[in-house]
Amino acid sequence: MTRLSLIDGGFLLTESHHSPKHVAALLVFRLPNGKGKAWLRSMLDEMKQWPPCFPFNQKLKDNPGPLYELEPDRHLEIDYHVRHTVLPSPGSDSQMLDVVARMHANLLDRDRPLWEFHLIEGLSDRRFAFYIKIHHALADGITIGRWLGDCGATSADQLDTPPIWAHEENSGDREESGISYREMLFNGVKLLGGGVKTALGVATLSAKILQRRFLDGDSSIALPFSAPKTTINVTPGAARKISIASFPLASVKAIGKTLGGSINDVLMTMCDVAISRYFDSHEDTPDGPLVAYMPVNIRTSEDEGDGNLVTLLQVKLASNHADPIDSFHEVRESIISAREVYSGVPRDAVQYYALMVALVSLAEEMLGLHRLFRPVENLVISNVPGPREKYFFRGAEEIGLYPVSTLPPMTALNVTVCSYHGTLFFGLIAGRTAVPDLDILTTYLEDAFHDLADATGVSVDQ
């Protein structure tokens, strides 16, 4: 039996019908030469023969949270978890995204292992896709990326790679046997001591934020409840809208280098400029800079396990979008300030602070407090590094890797980016009612990229 950490369990604790806490990857492939739908369906049948490993063979034990536990599912039905969808002609990207949006809107069944795998057949240009949906309590983006890497091949000739649910397990065994009363008592004392240390760390972080903002006069620091009210800060509802885009990694990197910043600085600026133009087009300009959740990986070289080792930084975005370069520098300064405030604080304290902020958003949604208070944040912008080399699965070339993430309470927009083989793949997900025209926002995202490229003299064909 495996006990989830309080951070991992937090994704179950804060889950609701309007805010499912699963994440997903949408992988697009091209069929090998000479292969068609018969090969594809035969491959799926063969994949089902692979038995799931940890955590894909685990379900939640029937006990109350927040101390969630996993136990093996002795009656796992692979046909429930591994599914097949065929798109009607012409098999467009729009049809695929509509299907994925419906799949992504549904909560995972807590009586079964918390994952689904969908083979999507019938895409145009000899393409097919995998939609892989996993509860965030089991893994963060880095972990899922590692599992996908375990199941990919760098050669089209390697035809025996396992499906993701049969990835190679870590050498450390996650299964735990029963413990004695003495061990329970010892662990309780250890947990209490760690809790006191963590509480002090959270208090220290809170004090650092207040000092930096008010005593040091750093206006780029984002405080809780400092985000402006917008039309995307509503209960997102159950229905979802998904859009995708891609940009050359070399061009984005060159823009950042020209301006003295990073790839992440460019991505954050692109999103900020795009959402600002979206609001302007709807005559709904916010009364101040937006505040974004920016998930940050806090793993070290020694952290090889599963689960979540990520926290959320609150980053204030630009106040003026007339010049994309000015916007870039303003966003960059905010990111630097946020990282400096969080630096030196124990990792557990940073994670628990982020969980506390997330619970505040959940309370706003459940109790209707959004009518009285400003939002904690306006949107989520995340950047997940992916593989640099080209991957294949059973000889099929992987040509796209789009992240499909989750929406926090009172937040109807998430933009997640994943790099793969020289391209940055954007996955935009929104509440369907709050942002019905997500494609327009994607167009503004492309415009923001070209504006930054033009302003810096960077070629978009790199």
Enzyme catalytic residues: 136
What is the rounded CA–CA span in Å between residue 326 and residue 318? 8
Angle between helices 347-367 and 181-210 (to 10 degrees): 80
Yes or no: say if 157 and 324 are a contact pair by the CB < 8 Å rule. no
Yes or no: say if 276 and 292 are a contact pair by the CB < 8 Å rule. no
- Those residues with Cβ within 8 angstroms of residue 323's Cβ, 6 or more apart along the chain or in another chain: 455
What is the rounded CA–CA span in Å between residue 366 and residue 359? 10
DSSP 314-326: EEE--S--SSHHH
- CA distances for 427 relative to 78, 80, 140, 403, 424, angstroms: 28, 26, 16, 5, 10
Of the candidates 138, 143, 163, the residue with the CA atom closest to the CA atom of residue 152: 163
Strands 115-123, 82-86: parallel, antiparallel or unpaired by DSSP? parallel
The sheet with strand 379-384 has its strands ordered as 240-248, 423-431, 413-420, 379-384, 291-297, 310-316
Q: Is 166 helix (H, G, I), strand (E, B) or coil?
A: helix
- CA distances for 148 relative to 151, 385, 393, 403, angstroms: 5, 13, 10, 12
Yes or no: say if 434 and 236 are a contact pair by the CB < 8 Å rule. yes
DSSP 352-412: HHHHHHHHHHHHHHHHTGGGTS--S-SEEEEEE---SS--EETTEEEEEEEEE----TT--
Residue 308 amino acid letter: N
- Those residues with Cβ within 8 angstroms of residue 365's Cβ, 6 or more apart along the chain or in another chain: 16, 18, 19, 235, 409, 410
- Those residues with Cβ within 8 angstroms of residue 48's Cβ, 6 or more apart along the chain or in another chain: 78, 79, 82
Per the structure block, which two tokens stand in for 167? Answer: 């990835």
- Those residues with Cβ within 8 angstroms of residue 448's Cβ, 6 or more apart along the chain or in another chain: 269, 270, 271, 273, 274, 277, 324
Q: Which residue has the tokens 């063979």?
A: 57
- Which element (helix H / strand E) includes 274? helix 263-281
Angle at 174 between CA 356 and CA 22, to 5 degrees: 45
